[in-house]
Structure 1
Amino acid sequence: MDIRLEWGSEGVTALGADCAVLVIVDVLSFCTTTDLVLGNGGRVLPVRWRDQRGEKAAKARGAILAGEKRWTLRPSSVTEIPSGTLLALPSPNGATLCDTAATTGAIVLTGCLRNATAVAARAAELANGRPIGVVPAGERWGIDIRTETKTFGPLRPCVEDQLGAGAIVSALDGYGRPSAEARLAAVAAKAIDIAEALTECSSGRELAAAGHANDVRLAAMLDSSGTIPVLRNGILEDS
């Protein structure tokens, strides 16, 4: 298959050996926040979740650690981040998967609903006829960003990443043959009201209940951005 889709860290491992390009999709919220940072002329350094060594290494590279100033993992916190900012962004899903994907030898991009078409076009260009892997991050049961737990529970597939991945696969139409998993995601993205789905899904409801409904709104803005986050030397830059 020319376009493949598998979930989470296991998906990165399964696809990394065969795919020239891996696209990590974490809509709520790592990849959406990354899109907004890059759209303002900044860069993002992904950091594994609860990794103090990784955080120290990021600071040594001149990065500002999310949470130490007003910028956090929340998309709405970075809408006016200054150009030139290097933001170290820890997250249990998207950032952690970027770090894993970097070890596979594939070219790593991140994508979301906001930049789905732009990312798909660049992925096709970089892959140059070789297989492309799309990896919806999903959530992990038992992970709570408000606690210090380092325990990762089993994968929790989620609507927002299925739709983000599907939008990217849909935009790859004509590149080659998609797998059944990829086709299913693409059909879902075309068939549903995305803004409504993000508002009603478990992750969207959780964020709204915590007072972060604007983050969901920002994440649901399909193809509102042309940023193309590519991982180079551990940093996501617009390319």
Structure 2
Amino acid sequence: MFDQSPYICRVEWGKRGAREADERGDIIIIVDVLSFSSTVVTALHYGAIIYPYPPNLDGKDFAETIGAEYILGRAEAAKVSMPTLSPVSFNEEHVNKKYVLSSLNGAFCTWIASKVPALLIGSLLNASSVAVVANKLRLQTNANITVVPCGEQWSHGLEFEDNLRPSMEDYLGAGAILSNLEGDKSPEAEVCIGAFHYSKNKINELIWDCGSGRELRERGFETDVKHCSRLNVYQTVPLLKKDHFVSAD
């Protein structure tokens, strides 16, 4: 299959896209707007230490071995006032505390691509800043850059069907980042940038009413949707260092 290899800046979807970029040795930017990426960016902004972990492995045991708290689901954690996958659950109280964060999309893609020269976490919240860091790393390493919007997972799929559901919010987040990257861009990346430029003046409304946004709102997490839809409010850029994120900036 032909790929985007003639170009410096590329966009690939989901776990397969993360694996392809990992095998090429690209700089990777993981984008999961609702909510893994936004949660990691917000948590590091407040000084928390986040360990990404795939949901198919026992994150609780891993958390115990490193002296960290395992992040529970939104509803369960809210009952005991613990931080969750909800980005707004993090604040100044969590500085220097360790947390293990699992998710079906962002954490899984991070785990798959953890051996690349540099893995960054991008969202709307830090779109410009993560691009600045990626541009500097490309000059240092001479590696290409792949932005990986993670998408969502279809539920109740049939055996012969794909599970990946491309998500509008991740595509717009990827476009926001790609628009600030330097170097030749693939046609796929150019179209992604075009979608962002077309939507950026109403991005809050679009994410509020998209499928993922409605799902979170119906579960009572309207504040998450509003928070994750904001553009360039943080300069924090999470960089994977061995098994946890540090602030690249």
Residue 219 in 1 paired to residue 222 in 2? no
**Counterpart in the other structure of 1:187:** 194
Residue 131 in 1 paired to residue 144 in 2? yes
Residue 114 in 1 paired to residue 125 in 2? yes
SS in 2 for 1:134: strand
- Opposite residue 147 of structure 2, the aligned amino acid is V
Task: Provide, for residues 186-236 of structure 1, a one-character-per-residue CA deviation record: whole Å limited to 9, x for no partner.
Answer: 111111111011101100000011111100000011000000100001101
Task: Provide, for residues 100-123 of structure 1, a one-character-per-residue CA deviation record: whole Å limited to 9, x for no partner.
Answer: 0014x3311111000011001101
1: CA distance, partners of 2:107 / 2:179: 24
Task: Provide, for residues 68-104 of structure 1, a one-character-per-residue CA deviation record: whole Å limited to 9, x for no partner.
Answer: 651111112124442111111110000111110014x
Task: Provide, for residues 113-169 of structure 1, a one-character-per-residue CA deviation record: whole Å limited to 9, x for no partner.
Answer: 0001100110111121431010000001118xxxxxxxx961000011001111000
2: CA distance, partners of 1:91 / 1:134: 18
Moved more, 84-93 or 54-63: 54-63
2: CA distance, partners of 1:197 / 1:102: 32
Counterpart contact for 1:138–1:158, Cα < 8 Å: yes
Moved more, 217-226 or 67-76: 67-76
**Counterpart in the other structure of 2:63:** 58
Moved more, 63-72 or 120-129: 63-72
Q: CA RMSD in A?
A: 1.7
Moved more, 58-67 or 68-77: 68-77
**Counterpart in the other structure of 1:74:** 86
- Opposite residue 130 of structure 1, the aligned amino acid is A
> Residue 43 of structure 1: which of 49, 53, 69 is its match?
49
5+ long unaligned stretches in structure 2: 1-6
- Opposite residue 137 of structure 1, the aligned amino acid is C
SS in 2 for 1:176: coil
2: CA distance, partners of 1:36 / 1:109: 14
How many positions carry a matched residue from both structures? 227
Counterpart contact for 1:42–1:87, Cα < 8 Å: yes
Residue 92 in 1 paired to residue 104 in 2? yes
Calculate percent identity across the aligned residue pairs. Answer: 35
**Counterpart in the other structure of 1:141:** 154
2: CA distance, partners of 1:116 / 1:154: 27
SS in 2 for 1:87: strand
Counterparts in 2 of 1:71 and 1:50: CA distance versus 1, 3 Å = farther
2: CA distance, partners of 1:94 / 1:63: 20
Counterparts in 2 of 1:205 and 1:75: CA distance versus 1, 3 Å = same
Q: How does 1:171-182 map to 2 (within 5 A)?
A: 171-172=180-181, 175-182=182-189
Residue 8 in 1 paired to residue 14 in 2? yes
TM-score, normalization: structure 1? 0.90
5+ long unaligned stretches in structure 1: 144-151
1: CA distance, partners of 2:239 / 2:31: 13
Moved more, 12-21 or 58-67: 12-21
- Opposite residue 30 of structure 1, the aligned amino acid is F
2: CA distance, partners of 1:63 / 1:97: 21
Q: How does 1:154-165 map to 2 (within 5 A)?
A: 154-165=163-174
**Counterpart in the other structure of 1:23:** 29
SS in 2 for 1:214: helix
1: CA distance, partners of 2:230 / 2:25: 28
Counterpart contact for 2:129–2:235, Cα < 8 Å: yes
Which entry has the higher C-alpha Rg, 1 or 2?
Answer: 2
- Opposite residue 146 of structure 2, the aligned amino acid is G
1: CA distance, partners of 2:162 / 2:88: 27
